[in-house]
Structure 1
């Protein structure tokens, strides 16, 4: 059985997918009431599953009539993807940012779930048992090589 965070995440992704602008505005309290949870649960889902690294821009306005706006950031087309990858990865990349890029590519259907899982395994800190900053440099090289191989030059 899925937990409440997974259900809220899927609900928000479905709304985003149906939105012509790729944007959704929600009232945190209304959403918490809909899912019979505390408002902090909504904050948790948004702050951990709708991050910039994962391809989302989140904006919030507090106070009366406040809202949370979530916008999906579109990856560039195939032609500009290679440049985007090079700029995002650079010479060094931490695990969180790398996993966020892999997540974006999987969500954008540039890579399959299986390919994403293999990449995540190859770039994890458990596989790269080297001290920082070398680990982030090795991760960047592995990630670039795998993605260029999968996506073509």
Structure 2
């Protein structure tokens, strides 16, 4: 059975998909009431599942009439992906950032679930058993090479 966090995430992603603007504005308390949970549960889902690394921009306004706005951050056109990857990844990338980028590419359907799983396995700190900062440097080279190869289909 799915947990409440999964249900909230799925609901928000459905709202985003149905939105003509590519963004949704929600009231935290209204969403908490809808799912019969505490407002901090909504904060948890948004802060862990709607991050920039995963392809979302989140802004919030507190106070009366406050809201949380979630917007999908689009990847650049595939023909500029090499330059984009060089800028985003640079010479080093940690495991969380690499997994976030892989997640974003999978969500945008640029790579398959199988490709994403293979890449995540290759990015794991147990797989690249080197000391820092060398591990993050090797990870950056690997992910760039993989993505350039996959996205040049």
Specify the TM-score bucket, using the shorter chain as the normaliser: over 0.9
Could you list the runs of 5+ residues in structure 2 that have no partner in the other structure? none
> For the residues of structure 2 that align with 1:110 and 1:89, how far apart are their CA atoms?
17
- Verify: 1:19 aligned to 2:19, yes or no: yes
Aligned partners of 1:109 and 1:83: how far apart in 2? 20
Q: Does 1:109 align with 2:106?
A: no
Equivalent runs, 1:40-79 vs 2, <5 Å: 40-79=40-79
How big is the shift at 1:148? 1.2
Measure, in 2, the Cα distance between the counterparts of 1:64 and 1:128. Answer: 49
Q: Deviations over 1:98-132 (max 9, x none)?
A: 11111111011110010000000000112111111
SS in 2 for 1:57: strand
CA distance in 2, matches of 1:142, 1:122: 8
Q: CA separation in 2, counterparts of 1:118 and 1:36? A: 37
Residues 34-79 of structure 1, C-alpha deviations (whole Å, 9 max, x = no match): 0000000000000000001111110001111110000101111111
Alignment of structure 1 residues 122-141 onto 2, 5 Å: 122-141=122-141
Please, what is the CA RMSD of the aligned residues? 1.0
For 2:89, the equivalent position in structure 1 comes to 89
Size of the aligned set, in residue pairs, is: 153
Tell me the CA shift for residue 82 of structure 1.
2.1
Following the alignment from structure 1 to structure 2, what is the Cα–Cα distance between the partners of residues 39 and 28?
6
Alpha-carbon distance in 1 for matches of 2:26, 2:124: 34
